[in-house]
Structure 1
Amino acid sequence: MKEIAAYLLAVLGGNPAPSAQDLNHILASVKGKDLTELIAVGREKFATIPSTGAAGAGGGDPAAASPAAVEANKEEKVEEDDDEDMCFSLFD
């Protein structure tokens, strides 16, 4: 089972055809380490990754959003408002 997990990690990491040596390297990197410590280190690494989500989409810094993402978000909101202004219903 751990070999399958290592294979999947390698593929997710960008290696489309991991070798046995690649899998052994992944498994050796975590051998003998405490799971909770590994998770804590992983969380710290994720905390340093900048968020690229649109403002208001959950946890992103609105000031860090790209102008294109902000504009796309505005356009999306306008389209939603247009749909709500229609004065008919399928059941009228």
Structure 2
Amino acid sequence: MRYLSAYLLATLGGNSNPSIDDISGILSSVGIEVDKERATKVIAELKGKNVAELIAAGSTKLASVPSGGGGGGGAAAPSGDAAKGDSPAKESKKEEKKEEEEEEDDDMGFGLFD
């Protein structure tokens, strides 16, 4: 990935055909040791190709890759209390109070620096 990034940086800098020395110069400027074999492979794979077209093609491929998450489940049905008139805001306040009480119990009656 670092060799590809260095290649792309060189092309962004105006060099349409970066060499191993160009890639080595970019990577060594940030303290990365260069493997000439890998750098040569990247250059050979990208030689004569339009970088902008490659990025556009890669972006369309990445759009189809699942990236986790998924948005979660649907909303829960209201409970009997909500139907009786307790609003969700009241329920959340009750839950917050319970959480605060639980947190207070966690200190077991003494502080860290007492």
TM-score where L is the length of structure 2 = 0.34
Larger RCO, structures 1/2 (Cα 8 Å, 6+ apart): 2
TM-score where L is the length of structure 1 = 0.40
Larger Rg: 2
